[in-house]
Structure formats: C-alpha cells, structure tokens
Amino acid sequence: MEKPLLSDKTKESERWDSYQYLQRNSSSARNNFSFAGAGVTVEEVRSASAVSDPSPLYPPVLTTPVSLPTPEAIGYPSASGAGLELQRQVLDEIEIRELLIDHIGHRCCWGSRPARTWKIRAVEDCNVYVGTLDTFIEEREALTQTVPFTGGSFNGKKHGSAPELWQLDLRSQFPTLFVPYKETRVPVPHSETVDKCTGCTGRGEVVCPTCNADGEPGFYKENQVMKCSKCYGRGLIAHKDGSDSICGECNGEGKLPCPNCQSRGLIKCETCNGSGSLLTSSIAVVRWKTLSKRKVSATRGAGSVPEEVFHRAEGVQLCNTQAYQCTPAYFADSYFLNKFSSEVISLRAEVPPTANVVCERHAISVVPVTRVTMEDRRKAFNFYIIGFGKEIYMKDYYPARFCWGLCPCLEWLKV
C-alpha cells in the first residue's frame, strides 16, 4: 500500500488506483466542515478509541513517506460503472519539517532550530472513522374520521370502490429524500358513508341534563323550572330596614326557566351538531422519516488528541452510496474499511411493519489527524497535522520560545 523510501517532489502526486468503489449510485466526494460531517462528539471518539484500533495508514516510526488521500482523490464510479483513478499526497519528512517551519515562521519569538534539526521520532495515526447508514422509509396508517353531516353529496361507494392504503398515489406529496420527518394526511377516495347519529338516534336533540337529570333515559318533561337563586324562591328581596321588594331576577315569581334549554327539555346534540347524521371517512396518515445508525471507530492514539483538534479537523467522505438496500462498500486495499463498512450495514434500523423502505444511504467519512513527535537529547515535543489542509496544531510545549511573558503575541497565540 505504501511506497518505500522518501519521495522527491516529482513523485508527490502518486496514483492511487485501488480506491475504486463498486456501488450502484454514488455521489462525488464532499468535504465536511463539521466533524466528520456527522455531528460526532468528542466523547464518542474517546469511547471508540478505547475499544477499537483500526489498521494504521502508515507506520509509527517515520521510515517511509506518510500518505494521505486528498479530497480530490476520492473516486466514485461513473454512470457507466467505470472507476476513477485516485491520487494520494505524500507527507514525507521534508514536508513535515516544512509545515512546522512555516507554522513557526508566523510566531515572531519562536526559533526554527528544533523544527530543522530535531529527530522525528514517531508519526502516529490518530484518524477517526465514522460510518452511517440512513434508511428512508414511508409509513402509512388509516384512521377513521367522523364529522357532522350537513347535507349535500358525499364521495361514497356509488362513485367507485375505495383503494387500498398502498394504492394511493402520493407522488405530489413526496418529500426530498432523507428528510428527518414529514407527515401528511389525505382522505381515501370513495370511503365516505353517512349514518344516523348514535348519540341522538337521528333526532338531532338530546334530553337536557340540567332540568331532566332525574328522568328515565329517553324521556323528558317540558316546562321544568328552577328555584330563583337570588330570592331563594320567595319572589321578594329582603332589605336591612325590614322592607321587601320584588325580585328583579324572576319578576316576583320565585322560579326561572332552565338556563340550558329554556325549559324545552331538549338541547342540540353536540355529536352531530343537530343534524342527526354523521359523515364517516377514512384518512390516510403518511409519514416519511429517516432512520439513522452510526458507528465510530478511532485509533487508540485518537483518544488522547486534544478536543480542539477535532473541532478544527475537516473530514472527507471515502464513500457515499445510495440504493434501495445498501451493501458493504468495497475498498480494494483496506481490509479494515471493508470490515468497518460491513459492521455499519449490520446495524440497519428495524423497519416498522406498517412501513416500506424507499431507499438507503451509506457513507464512510474519515477525519485525518497525524501526531508527530520530535526529540533531541531526551527532550521531546509533539504537534498535530490536521485535515487535508495540513494545518499545524501545537498547544503546549515548544523548546525554542523566547518570550518571557512580555510579548503581546502570546495573547494572540493562545490555542
């Protein structure tokens, strides 16, 4: 997989023909400015690094060039199925030193001697791999809706037979693939029926529960009156001086008609809104949603990488395939990636029995992080090369700093 010995400048752009993917419908590689493009947390990386150790992309001791794929190097099959050749950038000892010297050159009080002369003791792979499998499903459920029937025509069986739930044409409602969630409700054609209201047996009125509460079911009495609450049925209002006056609430009668039905004994049926009939129809509830599964795999070295490094890292997708049912991706030169892809596929989400799978999407992303350790006479320091932009990250110790807390650049250099 790796080319031996250090490469010269004319060989820095080598062909990497092995990354040819054999899926049915793939999209081109895309840079993800969020961590791995999948919202992975640092805690997930720490946990994954403790239980997994992917095969390194290069040895821990710098005896050969360190090779990293470029974003442009990720190949996918064309419509005809032909694979694209891939390029790989070579990160050798010379370039590592050049990157560090350039980084130090922007620090006015840092010396370049350690970057130029100290020995590179180790180059450690701290990559993080993220695999996702999204299953986009369509779920249909039939609900019964009952509303008061106000008259007129209705769409019943005389216009045709009601279609099955999965026979409904909902192409006009179909959302963009892999939306998190969308729900719509549509009436099922020819499913409407009109029936007599069970609450009032088709009369449109029910017995008043206020003035006929003690009556037998189905029977009622008219002209039921209630005692006036203001004068307590006397018809007169007593005053403190001992005089009486006619109650203005009941006009001296001491009784009032039922406030609920005006002593008719019947009130309008709330179920059918007084129509006596109910319109029943079937409503199809259609839900589209994406069921996502994710697996994170990290080298053991990634567990000790500072959190700020992952926030700066820029990930790239190694594969992104879409099909009715995704199969594991194939990497001709990486047993680990083949196994990792199979493990992600095996996590496929369980589909509800009322749903159908529309399609699936499988992606594998990598966040490239390299830790370089340099030493000289029992002294050592390390730094990180992040992403395909090869940004240098150095947080703590660098042996050739000449600021003694007086240089304002220290505030600017806080990392």
Domain presence at residue 4: no
Q: What is the pLDDT of residues 320-370, one digit of tens each?
A: 999 999 999 998 888 888 999 999 999 999 999 999 999 999 999 888 888
**In whole angstroms, what is the distance from residue 358 CA to residue 326 CA?**
12
The answer on pLDDT for 76 being more than 70 is: no
pTM over 0.75: no
Those residues whose C-beta lies under 8 Å from the C-beta of residue 272, and which sit 6 or more positions away, are: 148, 149, 197, 199, 200, 204, 278
Domain span including residue 323: 120-133+288-393
HSE-CB of 41 using CA atoms within 13 angstroms:
3
**In whole angstroms, what is the distance from residue 110 CA to residue 103 CA?**
10
The mean pLDDT of 378-389, rounded to a whole number, is 84
Q: Return the sign of the alpha-carbon dihedral for residues 164, 166, 169, 172.
A: positive
Of 10-19, 85-94, 138-147, 390-399, highest mean pLDDT: 138-147
Domain presence at residue 411: no
Backbone φ and ψ of 85, nearest 5°: -75, 150
230/170: higher pLDDT:
170
| Mean pLDDT of the chain, nearest integer | 75
**In whole angstroms, what is the distance from residue 315 CA to residue 44 CA?**
16
Domain presence at residue 50: no
Return the DSSP state at 7: -
pLDDT at residue number 75: 32
Domain presence at residue 222: no
- Tell which residue, 27, 23, 25, 1, has the closest CA to residue 14: 1
Q: What is the pLDDT of residues 1-43, one digit of tens each?
A: 333 322 333 333 332 233 322 333 333 334 333 444 456 776 7
HSE-CB of 67 using CA atoms within 13 angstroms:
22
| Three-state secondary structure call for residue 80 | coil
**In whole angstroms, what is the distance from residue 321 CA to residue 46 CA?**
28
What's the number of domains the chain is made of? 1
**In whole angstroms, what is the distance from residue 134 CA to residue 289 CA?**
10
The answer on pLDDT for 145 being more than 80 is: yes
Domain presence at residue 260: no
Domain presence at residue 383: yes
pLDDT at residue number 8: 37
Give the burial class of 399: count Cβ atoms within 10 A of its Cβ; 0-12 exposed, 13-18 middle, 19 or more buried.
middle
40/188: higher pLDDT:
188
Domain presence at residue 170: no
Q: What is the pLDDT of residues 274-316, one digit of tens each?
A: 888 999 999 999 999 999 999 988 877 777 777 777 777 777 8
**In whole angstroms, what is the distance from residue 137 CA to residue 166 CA?**
13
pLDDT at residue number 34: 45
Q: What is the pLDDT of residues 233-242, one digit of tens each?
A: 787 888 888 7
Domain presence at residue 368: yes
At residue 334's C-alpha, the angle toward residues 290 and 85, to 5°, is: 90
- Tell which residue, 133, 136, 186, has the closest CA to residue 356: 136
pLDDT-based confidence at residue 407 (cuts at 50, 70, 90) = low
